[in-house]
Amino acid sequence: MKTQVAIIGGGPSGLLLSQLLYTQGIDSIVLERKTKDYVLGRIRAGVLEQGLVQMMEEAGCADRMKAEGFPHDGTEISYGDEIFRIDFAELTGTPVMVYGQTEVTRDLYEAREKSGGQIECNVEDVVIHDAKSDAPFVTFTQDGQERRIDCDYIAGCDGFHGVSRKTIPETVRKEYEKVYPFGWLGVLSETPPVNHELIYANSDRGFALCSMRNENLSRYYIQCPISDDPNNWSDEAFWEELKRRIPSDVAAKLVTGPLIEKSIAPLRSFVCEPMQYGRLFLCGDAAHIVPPTGAKGLNTAASDVYYLYHALTAFYKSGSSDGIEGYSAKALARVWKAERFSWWFSSLMHQYPDQTVFDHKMQIAELEFLRSNRAAQKAMAENYVGLPY
């Protein structure tokens, strides 16, 4: 096979890049090691920055998002029984969109299939060859047959455990990581959300988050030990613990019910530099991970796609390689700002095993400063709704 851009990874970032390139007449082939149903079965984040919303519009994939998504003009933050609101619309003029990552992926799959896009699923043994040359290619096995794609460029959108980052020699790449000493126990329930906007809660018992997918599907999280097991938590135990971590008047409104999904996610901050090696470019989790506190994972992947899409378009349309050569520096400049915000917000809202009374007092002082200071609220709102590309 031959194509202009080989895209490794059929998650939202790989599919979005493929669909955007298609709108510019640039050919691509997407390789995905799992099945489409498996990819669509992964439960992930659901807060979209305006930049990602606009890219979905440009890709021609925004109709269902506009019909079924929920624009949010703010979020609420609690500590103990105290609660205050950060007004995104008033502070930045921009909302966020609550729309599940699974739904984003579903819309992108539908668009690629409708336009005849080539997505190869169930591929194994993917190897990137000659990334530093003018003629890179990718080999893989599918249905027991070895196959090959010759291409101009390769986009590594295959996540933290994929082959793309590991293709960059260890002598070239530097990796920076912080592993947090706790995880998130996340659940889904077919119940109405307790609040029309997200609630981030700092409590003496640990962090909690009240989120949603739609009017009858709620997503809740509580901080837990990383060594914990979802099977240790009965439905009743989860609901009781959540109620203890949110303000009492909010807890009184909480509608409980059977949990339809329950899992524990570890938290880490991670960045790989550089994000390109010859004609190989890293996007999303292949290059960086953020703790989910700031809702930046999918959105930071989207900013990578934005830079790479525009760089490739400029090359194929006008012959300019400036965007391609500057991709890593431009992407990383924004990545590190997203990492900073996610680290800051995580540090503000969680209880740490080695946290002293002084540390806790500092958290409360920071929360009260955020509550009372418009400049602090504006800085948080600008980061939450998404820094400019």
Question: Which residue among 12, 95, 247, 292 is the active-site one?
Answer: 292
Distance CA 88, CA 225 (A): 32
Question: Which residue among 296, 307, 316, 327 is the active-site one?
Answer: 296
Q: Can 178 be counted among the known catalytic residues?
A: no
Tokens read off for 162: 């994929």
Helix axes 101-114, 12-23, angle to 10 degrees: 40
Residue 2 DSSP class: B
Q: Can 277 be counted among the known catalytic residues?
A: no
Q: Report the relative pairing of strands 47-48 and 199-202 from DSSP bridges.
A: unpaired
Q: Which of 218, 222, 239, 207 is nearest to 349 (CA)?
A: 207
DSSP string of 11-63, one letter each residue: SHHHHHHHHHHHHTT--EEEE-SS-HHHHHT-----EE-HHHHHHHHHTT--H
Distance CA 173, CA 165 (A): 9
Distance CA 112, CA 243 (A): 43
Distances (CA, A) of 292 to 114, 171, 266, 341, 370: 32, 30, 10, 11, 20
Question: Which residue among 79, 200, 221, 327 is the active-site one?
Answer: 200
Tokens read off for 304: 């990578």
Question: Which residue among 72, 288, 330, 350 is the active-site one?
Answer: 72
Q: Can 292 be counted among the known catalytic residues?
A: yes
Catalytic residues: 72, 200, 292, 296, 384
